[in-house]
Chains A and B, each alone.
Chain A
């Protein structure tokens, strides 16, 4: 059964071989593998009753709702493509994604354009179990899900990931982290983010247990879950780690002996913070990834490899290759700067829009847009971010999106750049330079007006006047020399 999806095959296997094993815990609810599989099939039945079938798309959005996971898996049984959106997305982004993907149904929020239902109104317990196999025409190459990037032009791009991609990604990660069937992971990351969703897939594939919190905000709750469920691992972003340290000091090291692995990613982490984590978890496998929506987690560095902590590590496994190319697609010698390009079983098929896919591959190598080099030992180092995204606590912010929102308020021109978070928590924050004389609005007025226009983390933390917006020779805003 489910020949197109090794992930579903693994779920089916666990549902038969270890039916009583707890797969997911959320809000005190414990779901066994048998229940997870049956509820996924109920979700498939529900979708089919709504007239949703293979090739159709649905949008899913959630922070931690279990129905999200049932629908996510149920859609895969039918061959329906899941479009995942962040539950904190602003209306403009949601509308853009809805228009691009034309979903048959939206789950987890109210849509103004398409049929939609919130999870509280979704009663899957009343659904029948979908007994049939998946449609025969589905293959590993069929599109399983679409995740939207932040986008450098202000317009997000939909990365189309196949069933082979999402399985390949989870399998690669499990190999590197060395996840085991008896692992119990506490997940504080939102499940609608690539990192959080990836952790769920990794655990289901292994037949392990995952405890979903959806947030690290309540650190006491996080610690209590580690204790209560005897957790052996967790995934975290550097901003959340800095937050936990600020809120709880070194209390977390009391769990060092039971935590076998930690996965970190989504943003850079200062060397001092890496060394400190290693000091607190000396016997834990601490794995930091470099990745992106289009090419999943493709490089890893393990913190005991202290000689290479400044690198992003090496390719996750032998199914993944990373090369440095020049602008024409020629491979650069070791030590020479160029663009990081990634080939492997988890690299996306294409973008949703054909025009977006132009020039994003050199052969089978996806162009990340990040600049770096490889050393003689095969470790990769990032030098800069050609795409100019601002990384606020692991959430990528397009400066252009913020600039557009500011200018729509009645500001003649502005430019946004990253600034270091003075509290040392979020890594970067957004700083906005406003062209002097181009508006009568004060910084406070702009900040107030932006509250309804942009998600909280995208709102500039600091404003400053600027006499002239720096531009490149081709007229593009030049952000690199501003800070």
Chain B
């Protein structure tokens, strides 16, 4: 599975919503279920799933699914 699909599936699982409800453009403000607790869960699951550490300086900007996908792509090079 590609990074994009994996990220979307993981985010949807954490938010307990169907994958069809989200896209690369989805902003965390657009999804009612996307609260701080679930955001921490998403970050933690991303690090687990991709066996990586997201740099602290980058976390601040991860507010859309597209930004998360780009971040993982950048890290995994």
Residue positions of A touching B, CB distance < 8 A? 63, 215-221, 239-240, 243, 246-249, 251, 393, 423, 425-426, 451, 456-457
- Contact (Cβ within 8 A) B16 A247: no
Q: When the two chains form their complex, are residues A423 and B16 in contact, meaning their CB atoms are under 8 A apart?
A: no
* Alpha-carbon gap, A21 to B75, bound state (A): 48
Selected from A215, A218, A248, A423, the residue in CB contact (under 8 A) with B40 is A423
Binary CB contact string for chain B from 52 to 65 against chain A (1 if under 8 A, 0 otherwise):
00001101110100
CA distance A451 to B33 in the complex (A): 13
Which of B12-66 touch A at CB < 8 Å?
16, 27-29, 32, 34-40, 44, 56-57, 59-61, 63
| Minimum distance in angstroms from B65 CB to a CB of chain A | 13
Q: Tell whether, in the assembled complex, residue B28 and residue A251 are in contact, meaning their CB atoms are under 8 Å apart.
A: no
Instruction: Evaluate contact between B60 and A425: CB separation under 8 angstroms.
Output: no
Asked if A249 and B37 sit within 8 Å, CB to CB, the answer is no
Pairwise interchain contact B63-A456, C-beta atoms closer than 8 A: no
B interface residues, how many (CB within 8 angstroms): 19
**Which one, B35, B44, B60, contacts A217 given CB within 8 A?**
B35
User: Which residues does chain B contribute within 8 Å of A246, judged by CB atoms?
Assistant: 40, 59
9 interchain residue pairs of minimum CB distance: A217-B36, A243-B36, A248-B60, A217-B35, A218-B28, A247-B59, A218-B29, A425-B40, A217-B39
* Contact residues in B for A251 (Cβ distance below 8 Å): 60
- The answer for the CA separation of A182 and B52 in the assembled complex, in Å, is 46
B40: chain A residues within 8 A (beta carbon): 243, 246, 423, 425
The reply to whether A249 and B38 contact each other, CB–CB distance below 8 Å, is no
Contact of B56 among A215, A220, A249, A456 (CB under 8 A): A249
A457: B residues at CB distance < 8 A: 37
| Interchain CB contact under 8 A, B63 and A220 | yes
Q: Which residue of A lies closest to B39 (CB)?
A: A217
B56 surroundings in chain A (CB, below 8 A): 249
**Which listed residue, A216, A240, A249, A456, touches B57 by the CB 8 Å rule?**
A249
Which residue of chain B has the shortest Cβ distance to A188 in the bound complex?
B36
Asked, given contacts A243-B36, A246-B59, whether A217 binds B16 with beta carbons under 8 Å apart, the answer is: no
- Smallest CB–CB gap between A253 and chain B, Å? 14
Closest chain B residue, CB of each to CB of A219: B60
28 sample A-B contacts, Cβ–Cβ < 8 Å, listed by A number: A215-B35, A216-B36, A217-B28, A217-B34, A217-B35, A217-B36, A217-B39, A218-B28, A218-B29, A218-B63, A220-B61, A220-B63, A221-B29, A221-B63, A239-B36, A240-B36, A243-B36, A243-B40, A247-B59, A248-B59, A249-B56, A249-B60, A251-B60, A393-B36, A425-B37, A451-B16, A456-B16, A456-B37
* A426 to B38 alpha-carbon distance, docked (Å): 11
CA distance A426 to B40 in the complex (A): 10
Chain B proximity of A302: nearest CB distance (Å): 26
Residues of A within 8 A of B39 (CB): 217, 243, 247
In the assembled complex, the CB of A27 is this many whole angstroms from the nearest CB of chain B, namely 10
For the complex, give the distance between the alpha carbons of A247 and B28 in Å: 14
Additional A-B contacts beyond A218-B27, A426-B37 (4; CB < 8 A): A215-B36, A221-B63, A247-B60, A423-B40
Q: Contacts A220-B63, A451-B16; is A393 near B37 (CB within 8 Å)?
A: yes
Q: Tell whether, in the assembled complex, residue A423 and residue B44 are in contact, meaning their CB atoms are under 8 Å apart.
A: yes
* A426 partner residues in chain B, CB cutoff 8 A: 37
Closest residue on chain A to residue B40 by CB atoms: A425
Residues of B within 8 A of A215 (CB): 35-36
Per the bound structure, the CA–CA distance linking A93 and B44 in Å amounts to 30
In angstroms, Cα B39 to Cα A425, docked, is 11
For B32, give the chain A residue with the smallest CB separation: A63
Q: What is the minimal beta-carbon distance from A272 to any residue of chain B, in angstroms?
A: 18
Contacts of B29 in A (CB 8 A): 217-218, 221
Chain B residues with CB below 8 A from A243, complex form? 36, 39-40
